[in-house]
Structure formats: C-alpha cells, structure tokens
Structure 1
Amino acid sequence: MEEAAKVEIVSKNTITPSSPTPSHLQHFKLSLLDQLAPRSFYVPVVLFFSSPSDDDLCFTKISQKLKSSLSQVLTLYYLFCGRFKGGKSNVHVDCNDQGALYLEAKIPVKLSDFLKRNSKLNGIKLFLPLDPYNPKQENDQEHPYIMEVQVTEFSCGSLAIGVCISHYICDGATIASFLQAWSKKAMKQLENDAAADDFSPNMEASLLFQAKEVEINTTSRVMGEKNISTRRFLFSDKSLQELRDKLISEDSYRQPTRVEAVTALIWKSAMEATGGACHHSLMSHAVNIRSRMVPPLPETTIGNLWQQAFSPLMEVDKSKEIKLKDLAMVVRETIKKIDKDYVTKLQGDAIGLFEVLKSLQEVKVLVMEKGVPCYSFSSWIRFGFYEVEFGFGKPIWVCTVGVPIRNVIILMPSKYEDGIEAWVTLNELHMTHFENNQQLLQFASFDY
C-alpha cells in the first residue's frame, strides 16, 4: 500500500427509515447514563470483508442491498435518524427521520496489502465517515448526524464498512446490536425469509434511569493530547491460558477471566513503564450493567448502559516488585463493585445519585489536579462483531481506532480462537518502555 493512497468518496446519500416514525415516538429523552457519557465524540467500528466469492455480487449490488436494508432497520433504530435538540441539561432526540449519512468510497489498494503493513493502525480512519474524536464541520458547528456509515471498496473487491454513532446515545454494546440487526435485515432481504427475527432494540433506559435537570460533568481526561501513541497488542488463546495458569500458580487465587488477566498484565506493565516516575495509580473498567440489573436488560437495549468502576488508589513500593496476582485480584474486586446495589443507587433518589457522583468527582480530582495516572479499560470482546453477516461472508477483521487520550485501553476480540487485541494508548516515552516489557512480551506480540 503506497503512503499516498487515499480514499475517494464517490457518492453521498442520506438514508431515511423505510416507513415514517410515528408521532408519539418522535421525542426521545436521553437517560441519566447518557448525560454522564461524553457528548463530543462518536463510537467507531470498522468491519473488513474479503472479496465476495459470488461474482454476481459486485460493489454496486452490495451497496444497494446495504442501503435498502439500512433503511429498513432504521425504522427500528429511528433515533439514529434524528437530531439532538435542547440545552446541555435537557437534551433529547428529535426523531424527525432526517436520516443517517451513507458514503460510498473506493481505495486503489488491495485489502491484503493494507493488512500486511505495520502502519495500518494509522490508516484505519480512512475507512470511517468522520473523525470520531474531532467531528466538527468546516464552519465549526456540531456535527448534525447521529450516525454515519462509509462503505469502501478495495481494488481487489474486498470491502470495509465503517460506522460511527454518537456516544451520547450509544456504547459498544449498542453499536454491536445495531450491526447485528442491520445484518439480519440484509440476510432476510436476501433470503426472503418472512419469519426472520426482528431484533428490535429495547428503549427502556430513559425510563429506568431518568435524566436530571442538572448539568453533570464527570470528565477526567483531556482529549487530543500530544505526544501519545497507540499500539495493538495481540494475545492468542494459548498465551491467555498460560497467563491465567501463571496467576493460579503464584497463589491459591482462583483462575481469573481473560479480561481480568490481560487487564492486570497491562496495568502492571504500564506502571513499570513510567520508570518509577509515578508511585501510585488507579485502574478503571467500563462495566456493562445490562446483565447486572434486576431483572436484567436485553443486550439490545439502546444507550450508555455502562458504568466506570474505579480501583482503590494503588501505592507502589519501589523496594518491592509489583505482584501480578495482587493486581488481578484488585481488578476482579473493582469490577464487582458495579452490582445491583450500585445500579439501584443510580436509579434511586438524589442521595443515592449524589453518592455515586461524589466518588466520580473524587477520582477526577486525583487525576486532573493531583496528576495520579488512571489506566482506563473497556472490553468489547463479547459483543459478537465477528458474527455480523450481510450476505457476502463474515468479517475477517473488526477494529476500532485508538482514543486520543493517554492511558486508555480497549480490548477487542480477535478473529480466530478466543484471543484478545488490546489497543493501548500511552505517552510516547512510556510506550517505548511498555512495548519492551519482558513479562508483557512473554504473552503478547504488538503491532503499529
């Protein structure tokens, strides 16, 4: 792939629902959890597909099927066709069917060549319809579309489907369930299967977590920092099992999950990468609360149904080695904090909400004012991205882009077996030490 290769946008369309949204559904109020989510950026994902084996499935036909099925699924996900209205404390979605943006694009390279290049992580944004972390228009107005899609054809006939949905009403689970619903509509269309499941989204979040008429600011990070870099670290199924076995052998500690083990290893390696400049740190994990509610919510529930679990402040004794097993236990106990009692506080009266927000504010003070590093993790490995099927095969690679904030780690599923891809963003100097950490490299390989 030549460095000068660029994506050419060949068409722009606005896709509207195939049937109008009923008047009683046209005002959608955001939930409290949406208020707590960052409004300024989008949730991005890119799915890469090999060239269809059916010679009749040319790009024009595929794109037409994608547009048609997208229009159909947007009758269910009508929020994504609306526009945000209201002030900071009373934002709602005007579900006016104005539509989602759909771009068709071409790039004069083969998918195989793109995937072979070590610099491919820097090229992923080519396949997204916008910069998810700087979605401003030329006139510096807020981007009007809640959802945008870009379908890109490689010179070999392979495809990339990039989707960006506003984080204000979407988390990783939401974009995954939307892609599943869209693909099911496409398959239903192709197979003419009238009995295919509807995969309708659940809209209960705004009722269960009612928005408050207050401005809430829990941001504890600076977007768009300089001197940061992102690497992708690959953990195979075999290496993950070896890592989990190592944690058991160190103590009578019961076997951790894959996410707990990888989180502990990355956290430990990141702390060591500071070269002793930091003697304390925090770890946080975004926890999907759909299954933690009573009764549990379906995974198709739209919104920001997650909460950030923060570890206690970890003091590092420079005279002693940081024990991996100890960090793994902290990770497990931290994630367990987001339980039904915690969720009940969010749903309850002002006192319960105040208690939750107070703890978030305390973390913000530690990070922003006292300079305590916080390593923030988010796991997408159980969202089923590799099961998305539009009728021309399942994706060969699903990825996101690095968040331009230091100390942020996104865990993605790997294509084969039960591996994990860890997208790690650190200060450039710390990354140099991090990617050479010998214990980390016992279990992971890395990619630029």
Structure 2
Amino acid sequence: MARLDIEIQTRKMLKPSAPTPDNLRRLKLSLFDQLDCTTYIPALFNYLPNSSTISYHDKLEKSLAETLTKFYPFAGRFGKGDPFSIDCNDEGLAEFLGKAPNNIESSLVDLLPIIDLQPSPSSPLLGVQVNVFNNGGITIGIHISHIVADAFTLATFVNEWAHTNLTGPQDNNYLPNFGQLSSLFPASVLQLPSFDPNTSTTTGTGPNYKNKTSKKKKIKDDSTTDHDMIRQPTKLVVVMSLIWKVLAHISSTKNGNSRDSIFGFVISFRGKFLCMPSLEHVLGTFSISEIANMEADELVGNRIGDTCAAIGKASKVEDISSLTLNNQTKIIDKLLQRDKIDVYGTTSWCKLPWYEADFGWGKPFWVNPVSFSIHELIILMDTKYGDGIQIIVTMKENDMTEFERDPHILSSTSKL
C-alpha cells in the first residue's frame, strides 16, 4: 500500500475538563493489567461524509475532555517508582488533527496517532488522531495502552465519548470504577518463566508484511471434523478452527513436513465468574489467555468450553488468579519452543458495540482493529450488520498469498 500524505494541522496534549479527585490519583494495577501492560490496542472508526461533520473538531475536543473526567486513568502516565500503578495525574492524551486525500488504497497505519510503543513513564496511555478526508469523510484513529483497557473497555469509552458528543455532558454521578479489579486481583512480583516477547516474537510493518480484512459470509460443513462436534461449535469457534487448519496447511507445505502448532486465543471473564456477577461490566483488562495444542489433538471449542466451565465453577478470586497464572506459565513454556513449533494467535472483538458509536454524523461504516505489528495474529469481530465475522489477518507477505488462495478461505469469505 502507498503511504498517505497526511498533513498534521494541530497537535496538542488534551487534558480532562475537570481535575481527577485526590483519592483517585493513584490506580493500582490488577494481575490482568500486569500480564498485558506492554502492548497498545490500535483501532480505526471510519465515517462516511455527512453535512453534520462541518465544524466538528471543537465539539469533538470538548466532548473528549469531558469523557476523560470519567475515564481518568487514560490521561495518566505509567507509575514512577512503582511498576504496579498508574499516576492519574491528568497530564493528558496525545491528540492530532490530520487532513488526508481520499485514497482508500493508502496505509491504514498512517491514520493512527504516533505513540511510542515501548512505554516509558512519560508515554501517554491514549492517543487520538482525527483524520478528515477531502470528500468529508472522517476516520478517528485510537491507540490505547492495554494497561488501562481491553477491547470491552475501549468500546465502552468510545461509545461514551460519542454519546457525550451527540447529546452533551450528562448530569449524573456515573463514574467507572477502575479500581475494582486491582482490589480483588492485585498485581505482584510473579515467578513466571523468563520470556521477552520483543526478541521471541517476529514483528514488522515493512513491505514484507501484509494486513488483510475479509468477511465471513457463510459457514461450510467441511470446516470442522466430526471430532469438533463433541461440543456444538459456535460460529466463532468454526471460524477459528478453519483459520488454524489453513495456517497449519501453509506451514506444512512451506516446511515440507507437518509441525506441531498451538493456537492461542483470549477468553473474557465477564459474565462467566458466576460467584461475582458485579464484575460483568467491570472496566480494565479482565481476560485469560488460552491455547489449543495440535499435537495433543486439542480442539479450540473444547478448550474454550473447559476453561469457561472452570471459570464458572470458581468460588473465590484465588481460583481465578491460579487459573490465570497456570495458563500464563503454560503459554510461555510453549512460546519458548518457537523454533520447534508454530505459534498462532487470535483475539475476538465480537459481541461488542463497535458500530454503535454515533458522534452525530451517523454510525461508522467500518471499524478496523488494524493488526499491523505482530505477524500471524488474527483479530475477529462482527460485521456492521451482524451477518458475518470480519477476519483481520497479519502475516508475512508470502504466507498471505498462500492464505488468500487457500480453497477453504476462498469458499468461505469475501473481501470487504
């Protein structure tokens, strides 16, 4: 893809419209924040041209500042001297206003705010870039640290910002509780196997890496085996199983022999930790990583079912902490064997209100997670009308060519 000719018109550090109360100035991290704190989540919200977008920027900026008073950790910084906290000091977020030509073939990465992805105490936790196209279309690009948000939290924040921009600030006492998880599952010094993802994970944004988005429009009966039917698979499980099957086939063709592989995915605790239903809508990061192992003949659906059953049976927070840490150790052990096995990762953004974020010029026509930094990562999310699943795939260019022409992919998907 050609790079966009972005003209940055303004750049500023935007602060919350009201100071954060003293009693909320230090946010302790939870166990789940701790395990995800070195990554950022990138997302683009794309809107069609509309007469309501005229003179939008001042209003967007004001509503964002007002929303930050509720989502106050987003304007903070990584804790100084305390690796297990966030200073909610209202330093602000990085905000950019850019103007770009109407070129849909250009790189989506250019629409994201520039943030140092190797965090330091001075790094903003949130960056927003508002891009205006010559035809009047708007793209809002967001980079947010996983230390303060997962996909659920990001979707909640964007919809709150959109609602505030659409209707004005609400006169209520609603204030998200960001400290609930850390009080139950505090971060601490962990005795986990040593693993440096920066050296063990292949990353890149150069010409040898490609990002593709396609839409799942039908489910073929041959995408699962009879063994997969031990548990009736959901649509999402069928898609994940199909992708793993295709990736394993590409690997065996490339290497001349079949290799063991693991398929990683993330399961949200929300709505599954039955002994504490109050955590169903909790903000922050609240999920567990899980893997299926091809050599052990494990199935995605069965692994998800077993883990969800274990979460449902948990009677105290210690059970959840132990399950999370045991899984983390198991996954790191496998990642340390990357020279012998293939490792694939996926995460689901399904069943979240991405397409409800109406800032006043209609709902987005396309929301894109922009998986660009880690190859062989797949992000799944519902299509705008819920009639399929978007598959956002990032992998090496040669592998992408094989992926795109695989008969299972061709028969089951259509490009957006």
> For residues 415 and 443 of structure 1, do their structure 2 counterparts lie closer, same or farther at Cα, with a shift above 3 Å needed?
same
> For residues 182 and 299 of structure 1, do their structure 2 counterparts lie closer, same or farther at Cα, with a shift above 3 Å needed?
farther
CA distance in 1, matches of 2:183, 2:212: 40
1:404 Cα offset (Å): 2.6
Match for 1:400 among 366, 369, 379? 369
CA distance in 2, matches of 1:181, 1:201: 15
> For residues 229 and 246 of structure 1, do their structure 2 counterparts lie closer, same or farther at Cα, with a shift above 3 Å needed?
closer
Question: Which residue does 1:380 correspond to in 2?
Answer: 349
Normalised by the length of structure 2, the TM-score is 0.87
Question: Which residue does 1:290 correspond to in 2?
Answer: 270
1:376 Cα offset (Å): 1.2
CA distance in 2, matches of 1:249, 1:347: 37
Match for 1:310 among 291, 305, 316? 291
Contact 1:345 1:356 in 2 (8 A): no
Matches within 5 A, 1:353-364: 353=321, 356-364=324-332
Secondary structure of the structure 1 residue equivalent to 2:167: helix
Question: Which residue does 2:140 correspond to in 1?
Answer: 161
Match for 2:152 among 161, 165, 173? 173
Q: Deviations over 1:312-332 (max 9, x none)?
A: 34368xxxxxxxxxx7xx111
1:16 Cα offset (Å): 1.5
Contact 1:228 1:404 in 2 (8 A): no
Question: Which residue does 1:389 correspond to in 2?
Answer: 358
Question: Which residue does 2:201 correspond to in 1?
Answer: 222
Match for 1:69 among 31, 54, 63? 63
1:104 aligns with 2:72: no
CA distance in 1, matches of 2:345, 2:165: 36
Question: Which residue does 1:18 correspond to in 2?
Answer: 17
Contact 1:292 1:339 in 2 (8 A): yes
1:135 aligns with 2:117: yes
What are structure 1's unaligned runs of at least 5 residues? Answer: 317-326
Question: Which residue does 1:265 correspond to in 2?
Answer: 242
Contact 2:98 2:129 in 1 (8 A): yes
Question: Which residue does 1:319 correspond to in 2?
Answer: none
Q: Deviations over 1:187-225 (max 9, x none)?
A: 221xx8758x95745541111211113475666651525
> For residues 305 and 200 of structure 1, do their structure 2 counterparts lie closer, same or farther at Cα, with a shift above 3 Å needed?
same
CA distance in 1, matches of 2:397, 2:148: 32
Q: Which amino acid letter does the alignment assign opposite residue 92 of structure 2?
A: G
Contact 1:128 1:163 in 2 (8 A): yes
1:422 aligns with 2:391: yes
CA distance in 2, matches of 1:360, 1:101: 32
Question: Which residue does 1:324 correspond to in 2?
Answer: none
CA distance in 2, matches of 1:223, 1:168: 22
> For residues 84 and 202 of structure 1, do their structure 2 counterparts lie closer, same or farther at Cα, with a shift above 3 Å needed?
closer
Secondary structure of the structure 1 residue equivalent to 2:89: coil
1:208 aligns with 2:184: yes
Contact 2:269 2:311 in 1 (8 A): no
> For residues 278 and 103 of structure 1, do their structure 2 counterparts lie closer, same or farther at Cα, with a shift above 3 Å needed?
same
Normalised by the length of structure 1, the TM-score is 0.81
CA distance in 2, matches of 1:250, 1:361: 28
CA distance in 2, matches of 1:249, 1:334: 16
1:145 aligns with 2:143: no
Q: How many residues are paired up?
A: 405
Which segment drifts farther, 26-35 or 435-444? 435-444
Q: Which amino acid letter does the alignment assign opposite residue 180 of structure 2?
A: E
Match for 1:53 among 51, 71, 90? 51
CA distance in 2, matches of 1:193, 1:401: 32
CA distance in 2, matches of 1:17, 1:52: 28
CA distance in 1, matches of 2:174, 2:221: 39
Contact 1:84 1:92 in 2 (8 A): yes
Question: Which residue does 2:282 correspond to in 1?
Answer: 301
Contact 1:181 1:199 in 2 (8 A): no
> For residues 376 and 150 of structure 1, do their structure 2 counterparts lie closer, same or farther at Cα, with a shift above 3 Å needed?
same
Contact 2:290 2:327 in 1 (8 A): no
Q: Which amino acid letter does the alignment assign opposite residue 188 of structure 2?
A: K
Q: Over the residues paired in the alignment, what is the CA RMSD in angstroms? A: 3.1
Q: Which amino acid letter does the alignment assign opposite residue 178 of structure 1?
A: F
User: Percent of aligned positions with the same letter in both sequences?
Assistant: 27
CA distance in 2, matches of 1:347, 1:366: 26
> For residues 163 and 404 of structure 1, do their structure 2 counterparts lie closer, same or farther at Cα, with a shift above 3 Å needed?
closer
CA distance in 2, matches of 1:362, 1:252: 26
What are structure 2's unaligned runs of at least 5 residues? Answer: none
Q: Deviations over 1:103-142 (max 9, x none)?
A: 11101x22xx41xx3xx4xx111111125xx5359xxx66
CA distance in 1, matches of 2:362, 2:239: 30
